[in-house]
Amino acid sequence: MELVTRPTFEPAGAGGLLIGVLLAAIVLGLLAGWLAGSTGIGALIGAVLGIPLAVYSVYRRYRGTL
C-alpha cells in the first residue's frame, strides 16, 4: 500500500501569491487607465477587481492542504 501525502500549506508562499496577483491586477488596471486617460481610476479598478482574483488564486492553489 502506498502512503499518500497531502501537500503542505506554506504561509509565505500564499502571501507571495496573494500580493503578486494583486499587484499584477493593479498594474494592468493602471495601464488600461493610462490608455483611457486616468491612471488613478485605472489603478483603483485594478485593485478592486484584483482583490477577489488574488483570494481565488490562493484558494485554488492551496485548497487541499488544510
C-alpha cell at 34: 493610462
Alpha-carbon separation of residue 17 from 41, 42, 46 (angstroms) = 24, 22, 16
Q: How confident is the model at residue 2 (pLDDT cuts 50, 70, 90)?
A: confident
Tell me how far apart the terminal alpha carbons of the chain are, to the nearest angstrom. 24
pLDDT at 5 over 90: no
The stretch 51-61 carries a mean pLDDT of: 97
> How do residues 6-54 score in pLDDT, each as one tens digit?
778 899 999 999 999 999 999 999 999 999 999 999 999 999 999 999 9
- In the chain, where the domains are located: 13-62
pLDDT at 25: 98
